[in-house]
A and B are shown apart, each in its own frame.
Chain A
């Protein structure tokens, strides 16, 4: 089968690899019909998550048709021929965490928990196609995908939704939704969202679905005007990050209070032009003294109103520096974060889609053959051709 393979930082290839197959009794093999590239994949490609090995198959936002089931799969839950979305974190449904709906913290699905135990104190769930830190599973940017514990993980989709309407339930829609839902948004709240990438876009719309009074979005007007425009179309007020006075503008909009809810949908590769700390991070990460550039997160903490909530869907992997703990503590902020507990939100979000309150396909700007994955990665990474979200088609 064809699959997207990570070879080295900035180098991915489409290769002919052995077919995905049933390995454990509760496995399924899914024939992938659509599979997206995520901002999280850029962290791998840019080498920010160094737990990769040459030859790893990547990709964690797939959907498709169940091709084969292992003998131990509960067939009342999933059958051959079902159309399914695959959540990016693997859950087991039985451990302490899954039973509390904390699926991305599952105790049983990371086959190599030791690395994460060293780095994080405890290991989190296995994630498909996302480095050896989260298990080293072959990923979903491929024609076929093996999914462990299929009866718990595969999510059946109604036939009347298109692939592009259902696909993002695998990751970015629940991710934006969880980021907003965790903040207990009130009707008179102002929600500020850093980053207008795919995750930011779903965060903006989720905050609206959850009844936010106003949504403000921050990104780069010069580099990604199309993302700013997409945020505007959703009804958000946008602020260009080049503006030296992002902080002042946010305070001004909120009568001096600061946004009640601040959401970092940027993650570890934030860039900044004006702030001294952005340059500091760049130097430090290049001098291997720091593993992240938490520029957007720092700004979110500084801007957030006293007693407000800072939510962090953006991914971080290691250790950061010059973190504004003083602001966090003295202003009494609440932090909400985590890899998304995707399984928890599928039913609720399907409800929103079916009721016509949101059509997730809005975010797709490109659909390309899987064989063109390297070009697709470059385009998404460099924000060329108005690219916001790319879906790869494994059949072509």
Chain B
């Protein structure tokens, strides 16, 4: 990532209070008004509920405020525009239209599409962190299952996995990268708890894992010629200490994003055979700061 001026990634954390309250206050009131006018707990059959986590709404609003304030402080044109987009994000935060929040924080329910819609009922049933993400992949359940069932393939699509080694039919040894503070790597043994060919694989870590968790992936043929809906679910207890801090960094703030990105890489790998990279493409230096156009 290139850490220069004009891109502020929404969702970035580390938001602090800022004296420019007079700017944010009206927007906050607007946000609150919007939030209170929306009926709670409304769900629609067969579609994700239009409710989004308050926390995430705040996150988006906060990112928006960051952008807006960063823009406000800079009186130049890009600053102004940054602020404009910031305001837009605050709006999104206010309105709850935050797509990444789609599935955060509810536990595993059934596996029918309709069960997906029913999220609020299962919320908070278990402690810990739950992650669920789905994507449509244009391949048959058989092809997708085959790739996944061979866990040794997973480091190809999961950016934080270093290796997976098969121990026997049901057990495998996983190594994920971690920063030096957490020992450079975390490892665990996992065992398959449920294996329905071409449909579903569940696993959980065995005693002594650095990060205890359980997860499942399920493959469901989509309507018509749409391929297969793939859903990943993970449930884990965030560990304590330095490891916990790292883990929070990796998964805690944006577990949805991490899993979503992995699932997206799986889709890219299966549909187009590769994950398009930008590494090594040409960039300029702007030493002369450019000429006025």
Contact = CB atoms under 8 A, between A and B. Distances in A.
B282 interface: yes
B50 interface: no
Contacts of A318: 84-85, 88
Interface in A87-130: 92-96, 99, 107-109, 111, 113-115, 117-119, 121-122, 126
Interface string A1-25: 1010111111111010111110111
Contacts of A286: 80
Nearest to B257: A114
A315 to B, nearest CB: 15
Query: Among B10, B86, B91, B97, which residue has the most Cβ atoms of chain A within 10 A?
Result: B10
B7 A53 contact: yes
Interface in B273-291: 273-286, 288-291
User: How big is chain B's contact interface, by range?
Assistant: 35 or more
Contact of A17 (B226, B276, B284): B284
Nearest to B287: A15
B81 A50 contact: yes
Interface string B60-87: 1000000010011000111011111111
B86 A288 contact: yes
B276 A126 contact: yes
Given A26-B273, A72-B274, A118-B99, A55 B2 contact: yes
A291 B285 contact: no
A25 B277 CA distance: 10
B84 A285 contact: yes
A47 interface: yes
B11 interface: yes
Contacts of A55: 2, 4, 283-286
A56 interface: yes
Contacts of B274: 24-26, 72
A7 B293 CA distance: 11
B89 A11 contact: no
A115 B271 CA distance: 22
A63 to B, nearest CB: 19
A178 to B, nearest CB: 24
B272 interface: yes
B9 A11 contact: no
B100 interface: yes
Given A26-B273, A288-B84, A10 B293 contact: yes
Given A57-B283, A288-B68, A99 B138 contact: yes
Closest 4 pairs (CB-CB, A-B) = A5-B284, A7-B290, A11-B290, A288-B83
